[in-house]
Amino acid sequence: MDAGAATTRDLMALYGELDALHAWRGWHWWPDADPFEVIVGAILVQNTAWANVERALDRLRAANALTPEAMDALPGAALEELVRPSGQYRQKAKKLRAMLALAARHGGLAALLALPAPLLRAELLATWGIGPETADAIIVYAAREPAFVIDAYTMRLFSRLDVGPVTSRDYATWQTFFTAHLPEDRDTWARYHALIVMHGKHLCRKRAPRCSQCTLAARCPFAQTD
């Protein structure tokens, strides 16, 4: 077996292990979520914890503002106030406005999300406040097209496992590693990222990882006794 095929097999084995560990947990964007809520959540979660995003989403929901039309109709200060729990609320309200403007330019959210994925990604990346992680989250969880999301959890877990470009902190380098070695499949890629996030939150934490509860410990060079 060549090295590429061995890496593919290893990545799928890790997927199976993570699925066995975390499939029972709920995750906000899996299996399906309202596309506009995904987009709003993907912007609001920048630099904050998901619990704060939930509080902002609850306020938006209570104000009937979780549709593009309703959000667009809100006065500027009202949108800022509703998203305040997610932090950096002025910037985030501005990012939401930029996203609404992008959708409007394409004739609405559905038309925007129906663009071919590479074009959609380019449009998102050209929008103020949207970087690669947010863009890929929107593509895979809102447009439901293949995109492998990379984040700090991904780099931490796979660096600890000594799998992938472990010395790199470059988004594109890590993404290419996964997309080159995994069959292109939207559901698998969406679920893989969800499982990585759950593992990073619950077991492979930045400080004090819970290695005694982790079935990857036998193969993990970073495994600690806790």
Binding site for ligand SF4 (CB under 6 A): 157, 160-161, 203-204, 209-211, 214, 216-217, 220, 222-223
- How near is the Cβ of 169 to ligand SF4 at its closest, in Å? 18
- How near is the Cβ of 154 to ligand SF4 at its closest, in Å? 12
Q: Which is nearer to ligand SF4, 42 or 203 (CB)?
A: 203
Q: b or e along 173-196 (b: 16 or more beta carbons within 10 Å of the residue's beta carbon)?
A: ebbebbeebbeeebeebbbbbbbb
Q: Which is nearer to ligand SF4, 135 or 203 (CB)?
A: 203
Q: Which is nearer to ligand SF4, 98 or 217 (CB)?
A: 217
Helix (H, G, I), strand (E, B) or coil at 83: coil
| Size of the chain, expressed as the number of residues it contains | 226
Residue 127 backbone phi and psi in degrees, to 5 = -95, 135
Residue bearing tokens 């890929």: 136
Q: Which is nearer to ligand SF4, 78 or 163 (CB)?
A: 163
Q: Which is nearer to ligand SF4, 105 or 210 (CB)?
A: 210
- How near is the Cβ of 177 to ligand SF4 at its closest, in Å? 17
Q: Which is nearer to ligand SF4, 83 or 214 (CB)?
A: 214
- How near is the Cβ of 211 to ligand SF4 at its closest, in Å? 3
- How near is the Cβ of 152 to ligand SF4 at its closest, in Å? 14
Q: What is the DSSP letter of 30?
A: B
Give the DSSP H or E segment for 167: none
- How near is the Cβ of 162 to ligand SF4 at its closest, in Å? 10
Say how many C-beta atoms besides its own lie within 10 A of residue 17's C-beta: 16
Pick the closest to residue 134 from 99, 180, 166, 89 (CA basis). 99
Given a contact cutoff of 8 angstroms between Cβ atoms, the answer to whether 198 and 22 are in contact is: yes
Given a contact cutoff of 8 angstroms between Cβ atoms, the answer to whether 174 and 154 are in contact is: yes
